[in-house]
Structure 1
Amino acid sequence: MAAKQHIVKSTGLVLCSLFLAGCATFSQDGGMDAVSSIAKERTGQEIRATRTESDHSEIEAATKQLLAKPLTADSAVQIALLNNRGLQASLSDLGIAEADLVRAGRIGNPSFSFSRLRGDDNVEIERSVMFDLVGLLTIPIRSGIEQRRFEQAKLQAASEAVRIAAETRRAYFNALAAQQTAHYMEQVKTAAEASAELAGRMAKVGNWSKLDQAREQAFYADATAQLARSRHNVAAAREGLARMLGLWGNQLAFQLPERLPNLPNSLMASADLEQLAMKQRLDVQMAKSNAEATASALGLSRATGFINVLHAGYINKSETGESRANGYEIELELPIFDWGRSRTAKAEAIYMQSVHRTADTAIRARSEVREAYSAYRTAYDLARHYRDEIVPLRKKISEEMMLRYNGMLASVFELLADSRSQINSVNAAIEAQRDFWITDTVLQTAINGSGGTAPALRSNAPTAEAAGGH
């Protein structure tokens, strides 16, 4: 009897030791330190998860301080990474992945069974405690798989942060360009109004034809409509930026600079951008991590394909008039109908799927980098062309036209038409400058984030009718 009790106690101690050894715990930062480091390397700004009321108060204070000054592209990104609720929701995936990791590192709860049988004056009681031995033996493998999934969740969270940063920069430059365009459209409307008013007075005294007067009136009407559209575009662009920044209420009165940033003096070199993207792109890293995790899962499927359920535990039995009996029980699933081949075949198919997806991701990444650089380079050349050639030429023409007007060699309507042409060229220059900063953002995302399609470069040349040609 003593020997049996000793065996039972030893078995209990062993199981308790294995249980304690298999316990996993949550990390202090929940994976946020790694995510913030990856995001800062690619965006220049840190991120943090809002989990407590204190965190929320600190973020509100930081946002208020940043909004006290006119926004820059960097400060807008900083606000978005702190305040965007969609990003905060994505960061919760880290907690889910870590919970799965901790669960994989722990032994499954034991099962306890109790039975009582009574017949006549006899009572038979049976008790047992069962442990999942297969789950215990596969803890290292399962923990490794979930650890890789946790790392992948970190990459996914960082990728979402980079995407939010890129979308914020695009929204910021769109808002600036819309604001600048609306300012110039007000000048167009003012010029058109003056032209239409003068045309009306000239027509009354018979010095202007009805056709020319109608043309000036039509241009004024069109300029009024264009101004209304441009003002709506300002409101829409500001709302798009506000959504990315997570702003509402009094925060919507944020200030923007009057002009887009100047073009840089030099461009990023195209050499080795594809290789850099293969090292830096987060979607490529996630695809590789997913393939590795799938390969490990395949190994687990093969290891547990034949024996998938194995339970062992302590059991005792007592019966009326008999001494208590102690022992152990083993429960094994017999592979009669399912030998685990279907699980292994499924795991192999999933692995090959992940391999092909990794290769496809890499090919797409290289293509996106090449396309983004082409748009980046072309947008820069176009913006410089407007800045250095077209706008100065328009200014020179305007100065010459003013001299001709002062010398009574040109009419006031020619002067007004030329003024409209100059403003249209400036608006085209604004769009070209905006397109460069957007393509710069897309290129950075193609190298460091998860890529995206480069924007189509639109034609910015004003038509003869828009220029007020006669």
Structure 2
Amino acid sequence: MARHTRARQGLAVVLVALLAGCASVSPDGAIADVKQWVGGGHAGALKPVVSEADERDRAKAVDALLSKPLGADDAVRLAMLNNRSVQAKLAQIGVAQAELAQASRLENPTLSFGKLRSGDEVEYERAFRIDILGVLFIPWRTAIETRKVEQEKLRVAGDITRIALDTRKAWVNAVAAEQSARYMADVNEAAEASATLAKRMAAVGNFSKLAYAREQAYYAEATAQLARARQAAIVAREQLIRLSGLAGPDARRLALPERLPDLPAKPREFDTAAQTAVQNRLDIQMAKHEVSGLASSLGLTRSTGFVNALETSYLRNSTNDGHRSRGYELELQLPLFDWSGAKVARAEASYRIAFNRAAEIGINAESELRTSYLGYRSAYDLAKHYRDEIVPLRKSISEENLLRYNGMLIGVFELLADAREQVGSVNAYMDALRAFWVADANLEMAATAGGPTSQQTEGPIGMPPASGGH
């Protein structure tokens, strides 16, 4: 009876050890870390939608955002709430946490039962096996998986940050495209009036064929430019809709402001603080975690290269005549054919790959930041030059020509030709302003998430046709 009691106590100890590794991992802390790394006022919108209550809250927040013209910050917040890719990336953290929970637990024990018959004698064999080596390496495996969770959180934060900045650029392009389309509609209307007047004057013989053809050509080109501007507005709007995760009636409800924000009073400064901030880029931190994790994995591979499996078993045999035997068994796999040299070499090569990749990311990050700031500052200076120099000069010229027209020193078509020059400068300023805000988002990308960004902004959304006139 005492032996039976000790056996049950030993089994109870084993079960307690098994249950000790079954602690659950909550995703709340990981999501909080992702929010902190993403930053900005839109990070608060990040929340996994896992229940009907969560879905109702999300739909309510989306409805509130779509009830008014969508600003740049609201567009990013809408994407954080509604973009399905964001939800998928948040779910990836759950996968990594499940791997961590699995690594912190013992492998399931093995229970076997056998029955052997020899003549009239029947022998029953019962065994309960546990992987002892797995128990010893639980802390090591857990540390490795913990690093992987941290790396996955950084990867998710970087991906979500890119979605946020892509959404901001899509909003800039959509607002600029719609503004350009409205402006080109006004240009087309003025060109139509000019072409109609030229047609009437040519009909009574007061206009040359060459001047008439120029006015008609200008009107035709303005019509083509209007069609292109409207098409560009549709494409830019649909890009924003996709990133916002909108569909059906919600996509049709999307309303945008009539114009882009003005230039800031001063551009950002490229100081040493910005240069050192690149060390905290999410892709650099992720690369560091990868190197650290592979270093630990390499140590584990070297340590377990000659001990692949070590199992202990509790045995209990009995026969039909009442004879019983008890004991234990140790099973050790010997490395006679596979000495794990290839496994260790593979781990070392993987470590060297990650180390050099991390160094490359750091070098590229510095270059990306310098290039992005150059594009940002050039775009700011160009937009400011149009706003403060070219557009005011064109306006002044237009006012002087209007005085000359009132004094009958020039004709109506000379006045219209000058107005077209002013149209071109205004449209060029609008495109320069759009390019600045896109460059601003690219600079933010280079300083936070990193990754490939195009430093060359898209071409002009809509430019007026060449001037007509005489």
Note the 1:424-463 alignment, pairs <5 A: 424-457=424-457
Q: Distance in 2 between matches of 1:362 and 1:309?
A: 40
Aligned to 2:410: 410
Q: Which moved more, 1:266-275 or 1:102-111?
A: 266-275
Note the 1:304-453 alignment, pairs <5 A: 304-453=304-453
Aligned to 2:72: 73
Residues 325-362 of structure 1 deviation map (CA, whole Å, 9 limit, x = unaligned): 11111111110001121111111111111100100111
Q: Secondary structure at the match of 2:39?
A: helix
Aligned to 2:127: 128
Amino acid of the residue matched to residue 33 of structure 2? A
Note the 1:117-196 alignment, pairs <5 A: 117-196=116-195
Aligned to 1:291: 291
Asked if the contact 1:192–1:223 (Cα under 8 Å) also holds between the matched residues in 2, the reply is: yes
Amino acid of the residue matched to residue 276 of structure 1? A
Q: Distance in 1 between matches of 2:63 and 2:458?
A: 37
Q: Distance in 1 between matches of 2:461 and 2:335?
A: 75
How far has the Cα of 1:42 moved from its partner? Answer: 8.3
How far has the Cα of 1:46 moved from its partner? Answer: 3.9
How far has the Cα of 1:464 moved from its partner? Answer: 10
How far has the Cα of 1:451 moved from its partner? Answer: 3.6
Asked if the contact 2:72–2:171 (Cα under 8 Å) also holds between the matched residues in 1, the reply is: yes
Q: Secondary structure at the match of 1:116?
A: strand
Amino acid of the residue matched to residue 256 of structure 2? L
Note the 1:31-42 alignment, pairs <5 A: 31-41=30-40
Note the 1:191-230 alignment, pairs <5 A: 191-230=190-229
Asked if the contact 2:427–2:463 (Cα under 8 Å) also holds between the matched residues in 1, the reply is: no
How far has the Cα of 1:469 moved from its partner? Answer: 6.0
Aligned to 2:107: 108
Asked if the contact 1:375–1:457 (Cα under 8 Å) also holds between the matched residues in 2, the reply is: no
How far has the Cα of 1:320 moved from its partner? Answer: 2.5
Q: Distance in 2 between matches of 1:172 and 1:463?
A: 20
How far has the Cα of 1:319 moved from its partner? Answer: 1.9
How far has the Cα of 1:452 moved from its partner? Answer: 3.1
Amino acid of the residue matched to residue 104 of structure 1? A
Give me the TM-score of the superposition, normalised by structure 2: 0.95
1:408 to 1:41, Cα distance in 2 relative to 1, 3 A: closer
The CA RMSD measured in Å over matched residues stands at 2.0
Q: Distance in 1 between matches of 2:175 and 2:270?
A: 28
Q: Find out whether 1:276 has 2:307 as its counterpart.
A: no
Q: Which moved more, 1:121-130 or 1:144-153?
A: 121-130
Q: Secondary structure at the match of 1:31?
A: helix
Asked if the contact 2:431–2:461 (Cα under 8 Å) also holds between the matched residues in 1, the reply is: no
Aligned to 1:23: 22
1:44 to 1:97, Cα distance in 2 relative to 1, 3 A: closer
Amino acid of the residue matched to residue 137 of structure 2? T
Q: Secondary structure at the match of 1:112?
A: strand
How far has the Cα of 1:40 moved from its partner? Answer: 2.5
Amino acid of the residue matched to residue 413 of structure 1? F
Give me the TM-score of the superposition, normalised by structure 1: 0.95
Q: Distance in 2 between matches of 1:251 and 1:356?
A: 47
Gaps of at least 5 residues in structure 2 are: none
Q: Distance in 2 between matches of 1:135 and 1:335?
A: 17
Aligned to 1:248: 247
How far has the Cα of 1:13 moved from its partner? Answer: 3.8
Gaps of at least 5 residues in structure 1 are: none
Q: Distance in 2 between matches of 1:358 and 1:112?
A: 46
1:398 to 1:233, Cα distance in 2 relative to 1, 3 A: same
Amino acid of the residue matched to residue 199 of structure 2? G
Count residues in correspondence. 468
Amino acid of the residue matched to residue 138 of structure 1? F
Q: Find out whether 1:267 has 2:267 as its counterpart.
A: yes
How far has the Cα of 1:375 moved from its partner? Answer: 0.3
1:28 to 1:432, Cα distance in 2 relative to 1, 3 A: closer
Residues 280-325 of structure 1 deviation map (CA, whole Å, 9 limit, x = unaligned): x100010001111111111111111110111112111112225111
Amino acid of the residue matched to residue 37 of structure 2? I
Amino acid of the residue matched to residue 435 of structure 1? A
Asked if the contact 1:189–1:220 (Cα under 8 Å) also holds between the matched residues in 2, the reply is: yes
Q: Which moved more, 1:391-400 or 1:318-327?
A: 318-327
Q: Distance in 2 between matches of 1:30 and 1:313?
A: 39
Amino acid of the residue matched to residue 226 of structure 1? Q
Q: Distance in 1 between matches of 2:166 and 2:219?
A: 36
Asked if the contact 1:26–1:99 (Cα under 8 Å) also holds between the matched residues in 2, the reply is: yes
Q: Distance in 2 between matches of 1:81 and 1:213?
A: 55
Q: Distance in 2 between matches of 1:178 and 1:409?
A: 38
Asked if the contact 1:379–1:457 (Cα under 8 Å) also holds between the matched residues in 2, the reply is: no
How far has the Cα of 1:460 moved from its partner? Answer: 6.5
How far has the Cα of 1:44 moved from its partner? Answer: 5.7
How far has the Cα of 1:233 moved from its partner? Answer: 1.2
Amino acid of the residue matched to residue 108 of structure 1? E
Residues 352-376 of structure 1 deviation map (CA, whole Å, 9 limit, x = unaligned): 1110010011111111100000000
How far has the Cα of 1:455 moved from its partner? Answer: 2.8
Amino acid of the residue matched to residue 438 of structure 2? I
How far has the Cα of 1:181 moved from its partner? Answer: 0.5
Q: Distance in 1 between matches of 2:328 and 2:460?
A: 84
How far has the Cα of 1:43 moved from its partner? Answer: 5.6
